[in-house]
A and B are shown apart, each in its own frame.
Chain A
Amino acid sequence: MNSDFLVQWILLLPLAGAVLNGLGGLFLPALRERESLFGIVGTAVVAIPFVLTLILFLQYSGEAHVTTFYTWMAAGDLDVSFAYRIDELSLIMTLVVTGVGALIHLYSVGYMHGDPGYWRFFAYLNLFIFAMLNLVLGDNLPVLFLGWEGVGLCSYLLIGFWYTDLKNSAAANKAFIVNRIGDFAFLMAMFVLFKELGALDFGTILADPQALSQSNLNWVVLLLFIGATGKSAQIPLFIWLPDAMAGPTPVSALIHAATMVTSGLYLLARVSPLVLAAPQVMAVIAIIGALTAIMAATIAITQNDIKRVLAYSTVSQLGFMFMATGVGAFFVAIFHVFTHAFFKACLFLGSGSVIHGMHHVEHELHKKGHEGHIDPQDMRTMGNLRKYMPATSTTYLLSTLAIAGIPLFSGFFSKDEILFKAFEYGYSGNTYAWFVWIVGIITALLTAIYMVRSYVLTFRGKERWPMADEVQPHESPWTMTVPLWILSSLAVVGGFVGLPGVIAHGEWNWIHHWLGAPYGGPVAEPVLPAHGGGFLAIEWGLILLGSAIAIGGVWFGWRAYDRHGLDYDRKISEATGRLYGLWRGKYYWDEIYDRLVVQPLIRGSEKLLAPFDEYVVDGIVNGVGHVTRGAGQVLRYLQTGRVQNYALAIVFGVAVVLGIILFG
């Protein structure tokens, strides 16, 4: 089929779905009750594009293809077109977005059952898919930015989906504000590129990195990376992601695990020729990624909220991907995006299924007149759920093993490749890569431990909720378990698209051949010196080390938590002492921001200006907002309501205007 035609419908269907669901729900209140209608429309407009993308993928000729729908703005040098690029990179991202997206839509049909905002949820979710497709398919930075802003907006709307709860609104605002900082950096990068090169389409800006001066190049890459830290939750802008778990769980799975948060990685892979030409910035990226990875992993060990564990795990895994980017292994980063999308989506959906079950428990307890309140997300009140939710339990276990990196599961291949690339880059003389490698090894161990902890605490041991012999959760409906099964099978086998170099000399590393520039793909790679014959042995050694770490971590976690249950947390806390407090307090990032940025702004404006009572929300931009609001409060009192004061202002204006025009 004609690929222009396919691209058109891949983009238009989700948009049409969003418009239909949104307008239908808004203007025809009678329709809102008919959930299946919204569910079917919402899922179909994502599933059909997935099929279309598959067709595109299968008939892909190896030539990048650009489809231009029309030119939006053409004025002087600036030429912004709605142009979309089909190449190896965008295809693989589109497959993930539509494929995982369709599964999560299907899951939501069951998960959101009975919610009064059902129609709204599907409208937002469809709109998100549309924006995300713009992001990954756009052939120029403005279209990419349009998608970038669009996914940010949808993320905001979905985090605050249950907006009646003030806490959720606050989380949504925090995500929005923090992301704006990253967006600003992105805009600045675009500005520099446009000023220097006079164009913003990928064909031109990637053609020759040397067209920019080294300092400009460094700035562009650094600014793009700052943009990426906002969207992909890296230090120092990661603070919004854990709070974003306030949104419905399918949202966490789709937006805050599988797709949107990986867009920073996609961006850097897309501009990889530029990144490679800025080695200093690459070092920054790698180190930030490494620090984020280990920091988030240590926090994850201490969390009791099942979704928060997964949230910090996502931050940590994203750190891994940035590590890969920082050592020039862009295709490996995308490989990890690919495998991570499966197992993390599965884990989130599994946790959603658990929460669904625990909600039922809470509901039943309430009916039976139980006084206390249980938190359906708290692992401390779960336990032995595998007895009641076998499908959820099995799929969760498979994904846990995948993320822990047990050999032959998908996470093993991608994570091991990242560690290997870090090692190889260090071996080729880039010292910082050694640091990255070591941090990566430790983080991999921690990952195995905290993930097994979450599995064991949730699904094994004894039931810990009250009246456990009377009230039990039950398995979720098929619309929820089918996506779990599909995702977990992919999490098991997905890694085989990138077999390590030791097998058949890398010939079977399909994803490398698909994406890598040496094989005609769009993702650049550094040229490393050839290694001696002994390097193959080192590579085998690294694979064994990786396997040992993963198996060791899982074994340790299983032994510790299956035997001691929650008590083992106390043991760890005793063993690590103050460090544990630091982890448990999440390194006090929120508090530090509050102290250093938000509070001074608020206090400063409060002292100077009249007291204002409303909208005291945290967040940097809100702090600035307070100052501006304060200025407004002062200036408005110039408006005395007296006509003669206004006339005096006019006379003053006359004097100023005449003064400037006569003497200026």
Chain B
Amino acid sequence: MDLTGAYASLGSDLGNAFSLVLLSVVGLVMVVWDSLRNDHRAIPWIGVAASVLAISFELLRMPGPAEKIFYGLMWAGGYASFVNIIILAATAFTLAISVHYLDRIGHNYGEVYSLVVFASAGMIVLGSANSLITVFVGLETMSICLYILTGLVRTEEGSVESALKYFLLGAFSTGFFLYGIALLYAATGTLYLDEMPAALAGGAGSEVLLWGGVGLLFIGFLFKVSAAPFHMWTPDVYQGAPTTLTGYMSTASKASAFAALVLVVYHALPAERWMLVLAIVAAATMILGNVVAIAQSNVKRMLAYSSIAHAGYVLVGIAAGTTAGYSGALFYLLVYTLMNIGAFGVMAALEWDGHVGQKQDLDSLAGIGYRKPLLGVSMGFFMFSLTGFPPLGGFIGKYAVFAPAIDAGLTWLVIVGLLTSAASAYYYLRVLYVFWMKSPEEEAAPALDQLMASPLSMSTSVVLVVCAGLLLVLGIYPGVLESTTLFFSDSAAAVAAIR
């Protein structure tokens, strides 16, 4: 075997994968720091600084051409940069809002932050993968960190229980996912995504192995993005996990899993056979998520079902099977990340020691808007955006995924989407109604006063304002949407050049 020049491209590869390398190194530094100093004050801010640095790198890298790095295992630039920005932003926001929250619930350990950073590194691998190996490694790095984070509050029965559920079902779905990889490998003879079309064109493998493999592969993704009927872990896990980390799970991990799904269908599967499956799953997901969310009185659980519903909207864009649909889905993920991190951030700030807040019952939060105006106003932004009201980002996002689906002939799916998102207004606006238009109950007053005594932390306020502001900017200047379309022509050109 000739290995001459095996490391020739290592330097430029490491440069291209700056965010990944930075996060991994910073994660290790955080572990070392935590072991030697046991000082959890500085640790989260190292992570925030690294994420911000990585975001600025990716912003500069994004307009450049997409390249394959590490022997074609991963992509860098363009599409990958955009996905990395979503993940890194979610990471930075989560680290910043977690500090105060974890302090209050008494579980502020250095490990938490390094686990978040490691999970993000896994997500970056997943979201820019060009090989099923990297998809698997990224997915598992992310998942294992998330299992631990879910069970962070070991002393709470609910937290451990949700960790167990998440772990068992996650491992179960990983089994199917891996089996899908094996079948696809048997059918195409390669694990590289962009080599699959050529292998299929050569007539290799049998139809059953191929499509069985694709189906099982989808299961893994659909589980991670909590699409129906693979969603059932979501409400239980989201309710049990620490609130800020729930926000992180519901956004960054979904974004990267969706990004990988788009990479798979865009690079590896030119045929249209999978469109119907995704369309049906999308319809089921939207209906189930929105309808059950209406019946919830616990805000965290309601937001969990809402995040299921939003996975459905993203799937609509992907099911369209066009580059416009993929770029719409990407844009939606960006918007969704901002609004969901924000919504969970508000709920985390409203969770306080005392009977009322911990239950996260909607009615216990009556009239909070006037007492904590920043939380009330920013929650207004997030809820309106989640509902899809103009001029906020959520509206543009819905447009971005629904319009390509109509072009692709999936009108029935879009009608389902529009009807269910109209129904979603009921439960989102009910939150605002309770926040602003309802007077608090007498018995809740002492607990509320206790909450008022603890001021909002600076970092939380900044994150909420930034999220709300970005939603408004994306809603008023949706130019970003057009730029996401470019990734696909870019990548396609790059693929063509390599072939």
A and B touch in their complex, CB below 8 angstroms = yes
Q: Specify which of A70, A73, A635, A643 is in contact with B288 (CB 8 Å cutoff).
A: A635
Residue of B nearest to A117 (CB): B370
**Interfacial chain B residues near A643, Cβ < 8 Å:** 164-165, 168-169
Q: Is B292 located at the chain interface by the 8 A CB criterion?
A: yes
Residue of B nearest to A633 (CB): B295
**Interfacial chain A residues near B390, Cβ < 8 Å:** 146
**Interfacial chain A residues near B18, Cβ < 8 Å:** none
**Interfacial chain B residues near A641, Cβ < 8 Å:** 236
Residue of A nearest to B168 (CB): A643
B283 to chain A, nearest CB (A): 12
Q: Specify which of A163, A631, A649 is in contact with B232 (CB 8 Å cutoff).
A: A649
**Interfacial chain B residues near A26, Cβ < 8 Å:** 370, 373, 376-377
Q: Is A5 located at the chain interface by the 8 A CB criterion?
A: no
Q: Specify which of A75, A76, A628, A654 is in contact with B423 (CB 8 Å cutoff).
A: A628
Q: Is A660 located at the chain interface by the 8 A CB criterion?
A: yes
**Contact yes or no, A649 B229, CB < 8 A:** yes
Interface centre among B218, B292, B476, B477 (most CB of A within 10 A): B292
Interface of chain A, main secondary structure: helix
**Which residues from 205 to 243 on chain B have a C-beta closer than 8 Å to any C-beta of chain A?**
208, 211-212, 214-216, 218-219, 222-223, 228-230, 232-233, 235-236
How many Å lie between the Cα of A638 and that of B478 in the bound state? 39
Known interface pairs A27-B374, A653-B219, A661-B215; A169-B437 also in contact (CB < 8 Å): yes
A324 to chain B, nearest CB (A): 33
**Contact yes or no, B439 A646, CB < 8 A:** no
Known interface pairs A632-B293, A641-B236, A643-B165; A662-B208 also in contact (CB < 8 Å): yes
A138 to chain B, nearest CB (A): 13
**Interfacial chain A residues near B274, Cβ < 8 Å:** 661
How many Å lie between the Cα of A639 and that of B426 in the bound state? 22
**Which residues from 130 to 176 on chain A have a C-beta closer than 8 Å to any C-beta of chain B?**
146, 160, 163-164, 169
Q: Is A520 located at the chain interface by the 8 A CB criterion?
A: no
**Contact yes or no, A650 B173, CB < 8 A:** yes
**Interfacial chain A residues near B133, Cβ < 8 Å:** none
**Interfacial chain B residues near A647, Cβ < 8 Å:** 168-169, 172
**Interfacial chain B residues near A611, Cβ < 8 Å:** none
Q: Specify which of B216, B232, B273, B280 is in contact with A646 (CB 8 Å cutoff).
A: B232
Q: Is B53 located at the chain interface by the 8 A CB criterion?
A: no
**Interfacial chain B residues near A658, Cβ < 8 Å:** 212, 215-216
**Which residues from 46 to 86 on chain A have a C-beta closer than 8 Å to any C-beta of chain B?**
70, 72-73, 75-76, 78
How many Å lie between the Cα of A231 and that of B208 in the bound state? 58
**Which residues from 633 to 659 on chain A have a C-beta closer than 8 Å to any C-beta of chain B?**
633, 635-636, 638-639, 641, 643, 645-647, 649-650, 652-654, 656-658
**Interfacial chain A residues near B232, Cβ < 8 Å:** 638-639, 645-646, 649-650
**Interfacial chain A residues near B219, Cβ < 8 Å:** 650, 653-654, 657
Q: Is A380 located at the chain interface by the 8 A CB criterion?
A: no
Interface centre among A164, A633, A647 (most CB of B within 10 A): A647
Q: Is B403 located at the chain interface by the 8 A CB criterion?
A: yes
Q: Is A625 located at the chain interface by the 8 A CB criterion?
A: yes
**Contact yes or no, A636 B215, CB < 8 A:** no
How many Å lie between the Cα of A650 and that of B168 in the bound state? 12
**Contact yes or no, B168 A628, CB < 8 A:** no
| A: contact size bracket | 35 or more
Q: Is A664 located at the chain interface by the 8 A CB criterion?
A: yes
**Interfacial chain B residues near A636, Cβ < 8 Å:** 292, 295-296
**Which residues from 391 to 442 on chain B have a C-beta closer than 8 Å to any C-beta of chain A?**
391, 396, 399, 403, 423, 426, 437-439
B277 to chain A, nearest CB (A): 5
Q: Specify which of B273, B291, B373, B476 is in contact with A632 (CB 8 Å cutoff).
A: B291
Q: Is B105 located at the chain interface by the 8 A CB criterion?
A: no
**Contact yes or no, B437 A160, CB < 8 A:** yes
**Contact yes or no, A650 B229, CB < 8 A:** yes
B309 to chain A, nearest CB (A): 12
**Contact yes or no, A631 B291, CB < 8 A:** yes
Residue of A nearest to B482 (CB): A75
**Contact yes or no, B165 A660, CB < 8 A:** no
**Which residues from 447 to 496 on chain B have a C-beta closer than 8 Å to any C-beta of chain A?**
476-478, 481-482
**Contact yes or no, A653 B215, CB < 8 A:** no
**Which residues from 589 to 642 on chain A have a C-beta closer than 8 Å to any C-beta of chain B?**
625, 628-629, 631-633, 635-636, 638-639, 641
B275 to chain A, nearest CB (A): 10
Q: Is B176 located at the chain interface by the 8 A CB criterion?
A: yes
**Interfacial chain A residues near B438, Cβ < 8 Å:** 163
**Interfacial chain B residues near A629, Cβ < 8 Å:** 294-295, 426
**Interfacial chain A residues near B294, Cβ < 8 Å:** 625, 628-629, 632
**Interfacial chain B residues near A164, Cβ < 8 Å:** 439
B384 to chain A, nearest CB (A): 10
**Contact yes or no, A660 B373, CB < 8 A:** no
**Interfacial chain A residues near B281, Cβ < 8 Å:** 657
Interface centre among B164, B211, B232, B293 (most CB of A within 10 A): B232
**Contact yes or no, A73 B399, CB < 8 A:** yes
**Contact yes or no, B222 A653, CB < 8 A:** yes
**Contact yes or no, A632 B295, CB < 8 A:** yes
B332 to chain A, nearest CB (A): 14
How many Å lie between the Cα of A76 and that of B485 in the bound state? 13
B262 to chain A, nearest CB (A): 18
B interface footprint on A106-130 (CB within 8 Å = 1, 0 otherwise): 0000000000000000000000000
How many Å lie between the Cα of A438 and that of B390 in the bound state? 45
Residue of B nearest to A610 (CB): B295
**Contact yes or no, A660 B277, CB < 8 A:** yes
B interface footprint on A7-25 (CB within 8 Å = 1, 0 otherwise): 0000000000000000100
**Interfacial chain A residues near B204, Cβ < 8 Å:** none
**Interfacial chain A residues near B423, Cβ < 8 Å:** 625, 628
Q: Specify which of A625, A646, A657 is in contact with B233 (CB 8 Å cutoff).
A: A646
B326 to chain A, nearest CB (A): 15
How many Å lie between the Cα of A658 and that of B215 in the bound state? 5
**Interfacial chain A residues near B230, Cβ < 8 Å:** 649-650, 653
Known interface pairs A628-B291, A628-B423, A658-B216; A664-B229 also in contact (CB < 8 Å): no
**A interface residues, Cβ below 8 angstroms from B:** 23, 26-27, 70, 72-73, 75-76, 78, 146, 160, 163-164, 169, 625, 628-629, 631-633, 635-636, 638-639, 641, 643, 645-647, 649-650, 652-654, 656-658, 660-662, 664
**B interface residues, Cβ below 8 angstroms from A:** 164-165, 168-169, 172-173, 176, 208, 211-212, 214-216, 218-219, 222-223, 228-230, 232-233, 235-236, 273-274, 276-277, 280-281, 288, 291-296, 370, 373-374, 376-377, 390-391, 396, 399, 403, 423, 426, 437-439, 476-478, 481-482
20 A-B pairs whose Cβ atoms sit less than 8 Å apart in the complex: A73-B399, A75-B481, A146-B391, A163-B437, A169-B437, A625-B426, A629-B426, A632-B292, A632-B295, A643-B168, A647-B172, A650-B169, A650-B172, A656-B280, A661-B211, A661-B215, A661-B218, A661-B273, A661-B274, A662-B212
